Structure 1
Amino acid sequence: MSKSRIQPRSVARLAAVQALYQMEVSGVGVDAVVREFSEHRFDRDVDGEQMAAADETFFAELAKGVVAKQGEVDQAIVKRLASGWRLDRLDATARAVLRAGAFELMHRPDVPTEVVIDEYVEIAKSFFEGPEAGFINGALDAIARDART
């Protein structure tokens, strides 16, 4: 898919996952990370290629929303993990994908369930070659059933 055809919300979701990952591994706060993305990562020319535009407002809502509701979001994810699994056993990138997807399913009823799940499964596929995308698909589908009855 060419960069110019990627939808601004898709870019925002990917950036939100990257921001959540960055916050977890670096300990930097959400406001600083949102500001960094806005000032240094969006609408930039990288190696001669213009990066796709992001819906920066949506990006900030996702990143800040996950942080604000992290306890509730994590509880929804843990409920759908295999028995005995803890959230901290998951790869940090998978945690970021699940947190962003779960937040959107739980707190953005304006976005169709299928869109949320498809988008985050595609993001997972961009990071993982193994079974993680299928795992994320199943977990988000179950969270959607819990959150959107």
Structure 2
Amino acid sequence: MSSDRPAPKKLGARHKARRRAVDLLFEAEARDLDPVDLAAERSELAIADDQVAPVHAYTIEIVRGVAENLDRVDETVASYLQEWTLDRLPAVDRAILRIAVWELFYAPDVPPVVVVDEAVELAKQLSTDDSPGFINGVLGQVVVVAPQVRAAAAAQLQPPSA
């Protein structure tokens, strides 16, 4: 007997890394801690205590990237919030959007469609019923400017030609 329900998504290592990054960014903001320091602390704890889940390298990369580019990421998110401010968003939505915008701008190995899909999936798992649609709408606008931002970032990394 077949069911009309879609099969549950298989969640890979990068999805789990993103989810852990959401947790770390959320906790760091709630406790007013540096997210990079918190991620490093959790990594060390995982090494010392086999009861603590290891922190995936991509989680560290995300947390560091978001922290290093927080002003640009937040300015971008804020520019697409109609009649809202970043501070009014649920903290988990802020963390999800920060990760997604960072990936759209600074992780060229991740296709934009994957970034948006992952962010929406995280919102479904972790936030309110309205959050997936809201996050999809914001990211749908950010995706349009992401190629220019990626190109500008890549150009800054290129050595000047002689």
Larger radius of gyration: 2
Which 4+ runs in 1 deviate beyond 3 A? Answer: 39-42
Are 2:65 and 2:102, in contact at CA under 8 Å, matched by a contact in 1?
A: yes
Structure 1: 5+ residue stretches without partners:
none
Shift in Å, 1:40:
4.4
CA RMSD of aligned residues (A): 2.4
Instruction: Deviation per CA, 1:55-110: give whole Å up to 9, x if none.
Output: x221111001101100000111011110x321111111110010011100011121
Unaligned residue ranges in structure 2 (runs of 5+): 1-7, 149-162
Identity %: 35
> Would you say how many aligned residue pairs link Structure 1 and Structure 2?
140
Inter-partner Cα distance in structure 2 for 1:14 and 1:41: 17
Q: Give the direction of change, closer, same or farther, for the CA distance of 1:126–1:88 in structure 2 (3 Å limit).
A: same
**SS in structure 1 opposite 2:84?**
coil
Partner residue, 1:142? 141
* CA apart distance, 1:7: 1.0
* Aligned twin of 1:92: 91
Alignment partners' CA distance in 2, 1:31 and 1:119: 22
Query: Equivalent of 1:17, from 7, 22, 33?
Result: 22
Larger RCO (CA within 8 A; separation ≥ 6): 1
Structure 1 position 79 matched with structure 2 position 84: no
Distance of 1:89 and 1:17 partners within structure 2? 18
- AA paired with 1:98? L
Scaled by the length of structure 1, the TM-score of the pair is: 0.83
Are the counterparts in 1 of residues 81 and 138 from structure 2 also a CA contact under 8 Å? yes
Counterpart CA distance in 2 for 1:132 and 1:62 is: 21
Residue type at the aligned position of 1:12: A
What is the distance in 1 between the residues matched to 2:77 and 2:61?
A: 20
- 1:41 CA drift (Å): 6.1
Q: TM-score, normalised by structure 2?
A: 0.77
